Structure 1
Amino acid sequence: MIEVWGRRSSSNVQKVVWALDELGLAFKRHTVGGGFGGVRDPSYLKMNPNGLVPVLQDGDITMFESNAIVRYLAARYGEGSLRPSEPKALALAEQWMEWQQLNVVPLISTIFWNQVRSPPAQRNDKAIAESNARLPGLLAIADQALKSSQWFAGDRFTFGDIVLGVLYWRYSCLDCPKPDTPNIKRWFAALKERPAYQKWIMVQVGSNPAEWTANEKALG
C-alpha cells in the first residue's frame, strides 16, 4: 500500500493526499511534522534528509517534494486523467504548476504565516502589505488563462490545478483584500464541488496561532 508521512494541516501534504484521493488510490498516512514532531528522527531523515513533509513510499520508490510526488502519481496512475495525455494539455499543466508555485504560493504563504501562524508582536506588516499589493496582478494572469477554459490545462481537471487549488482555499480564509477575478471564482466554485477537495483541502485554518494549533491537533 502507498504510504504518506505528513500532518493533514500541511499544504504540501494536502497536495499529495488530494491527488491520491482524486486517483482513487488507497493509502496509509502517518502523522508527523509541525507540532507532532518526528521529522528529525533518524528513520525519517533517512527518507527525507531535509526533515520536511511530505514523504511518499510506493513500493520501492521513496520520494519527497510535494509537486514531484503529485507528478509521479499522475504519471503512474493518472495517465489521461490527472495527467493529460495530449502534449498541449500536458505542457499547460506543467506550466501552470510551476507558475503557481514560483509566483503565487510565496505571496499567499507570506500573508498566511504572518496573519495566522505568527503572534501579533512578530508579524511583518510590511511583508503582508507588499504581498497584498503584488497578488492582484498575478491573479489577473491566472484569471485571464481561465477565461477560455474551465481548468488550467483545458476542459479537464489535472495536476495543473492542484498547487493553486490548495493555497487558494487558505487565501479565501484570510482577512485580506481580494481582487475581482470572476474566472478564478468560477474555477474555485468547481473545485469546492469535488469530494476529494472537500475532504482534504476545505479544513479549518483559524485566524491566530492558538486556533491554528488547535486545528492542527484536531486534524492529525
Structure 2
Amino acid sequence: MLRLWGRLSSINVRKVVWAAQELGITLQRTDAGGQFGIVRESAYLQRNPNGLVPLIEDDETGVVLWESNPIVRYLCAQHSMGDLYPEALPERFAAEQWMDWQQTTLNPAGRDAFVQWIRTPAAQRNDALIAASVAATEPLLALLDAHLARQPFVAGDRFTMADIPVGCEIHRWWGLPHARGAHPHLEQWYNTVSSRPGARGLLDQPLS
C-alpha cells in the first residue's frame, strides 16, 4: 500500500497520482492542504517539515518522501526501472534535467498567472503580475516546442518519468483563460500524453 497525502487540485499531487496510475500502484490518498488542513498538524510535520503536499509513505519499503518530482522518480525507479525510469545514463539524466527544469524554471514562471486567474477573486487580481507571468512563460513554451520538434517525448523516443511533471505543468497553463500561442509540436505531444490511461481523472479536470 502506498499512502499519499494531498488534494488533487495541487499540481504536485497530480504528478504523484499520475505516476502511480501509470505503474498500477494501489494508492490510498488522503485530502490534505488548502481547505483540508492536516499539513500543520504535528504528526504531519514530523514526516514533512515543510508542511506542504504531497507526502508519501510506502508500506512496502518504509520510505517516507516529500517533494513531488523525487517521489515520481522513486516510484518509477522502484516499479519501472529501465522503462519509465531510464536505465541508460544519457536518457536518465535527460529525464532528470527536464524534470528539474519544470520545477525550477517553468513552474515559477507560470505561478503568478495561475494564482491570480484561478485562486484570486476577480476584484483583487493584479493584472501586472499576470502579464509578467505570461511574458515569462511563453518563451519557455517556445523552447519546449522546439525541443519536441526533434523528438516525440521529453526525454527521447518514448514516454518516461520526465513527461509526467511537464505534462502536469502544461495542463495547468493551458487551463488558464488566455489565448494559447502556436506551439504545434508541444500540442501534439500533450495530446499524446494526456490521452494515456494513467492521466485519467487528472489532466481531464478543470483547475481549482
TM-score (structure 1 length as normaliser): 0.89
Check the 8 A contact 1:7/1:13 in 2, yes or no: yes
Name structure 2 gaps, 5 residues minimum. Answer: none
Question: What is the CA-CA distance between 1:55 and the residue it aligns to?
Answer: 0.5
Out of 168-177 and 146-155, give the one that drifted further.
168-177
Q: Output the amino acid matched with 1:203.
A: Q
CA distance in structure 2 between the aligned counterparts of 1:74 and 1:34, rounded to whole angstroms: 27
SS of match in other structure, 1:199:
coil
Measure, in 2, the Cα distance between the counterparts of 1:94 and 1:138. Answer: 17
Does the aligned pair in 1 maintain the 2:102–2:169 contact within 8 Å? no
CA displacement at 1:175 relative to structure 2: 1.1
| CA deviation vs aligned residue, 1:152-185 (integer Å, no higher than 9, x gap) | 1111111111112112112111111322111101
Give the equivalent residue in structure 2 for 1:146. 148
* RMSD between aligned residues: 1.2
Matches within 5 A, 1:196-211: 196-205=198-207
Once the two structures are TM-superposed, the CA of residue 148 in structure 1 deviates from its matched residue by 1.5
Q: Would the aligned equivalents of 2:11 and 2:169 in 1 still touch at CA under 8 Å?
A: yes
Q: Could you tell me how far 1:61 is from its partner in structure 2?
A: 0.9
Please state how far the C-alpha of 1:73 moved relative to its aligned partner: 1.0
Q: CA deviation at 1:121?
A: 3.3
Supply the distance in 1 between the matched residues of 2:33 and 2:102 (Cα, whole angstroms).
24
> Counterparts in 2 of 1:68-217, with a 5 A limit?
68-205=70-207, 212=208
- Percent identity, aligned pairs only, is 42
CA displacement at 1:56 relative to structure 2: 0.5
**Partner secondary structure for residue 201 of structure 2:** helix
Paired position in structure 2 for 1:34: 34
Distance in 2 (CA, whole Å) between partners of 1:133 and 1:54 is 29
- Contact preservation (8 Å) 2:13, 2:68: yes
Code of the aligned partner of 1:82: L
2:21 corresponding residue in structure 1: 21
CA distance in 1 between counterparts of 2:196 and 2:180 reads 23
TM-superposition CA deviations, 1:64-95 (whole Å, max 9, x none):
11111111111111111111122211111011
Q: Is the 8 A contact 1:132 1:176 kept in 2?
A: no
Deviates more, 1:115-124 or 1:89-98: 115-124
**Map of 1:218 onto structure 2:** none
* Equivalences, count: 206
TM-score of the two chains, using structure 2 as the length reference: 0.94
Q: Note the C-alpha offset of 1:108.
A: 2.0
Structure 1 CA distance, aligned partners of 2:203 and 2:45?
27
1:55 & 1:192 partners in 2: Cα distance?
24
Any stretches of 5+ residues in structure 1 without a counterpart? Answer: 206-211, 213-220
Asked if structure 1 preserves the Cα contact closer than 8 Å seen for 2:57 and 2:63, the reply is yes
Distance, in Å, in 2 between the alignment partners of 1:105 and 1:26 is: 28
Equivalent residues in 2 for 1:39-58 (5 A)?
Answer: 39-58=39-58
Deviation at 1:135, TM superposition (A): 1.8
Letter in 2 for 1:186: Q
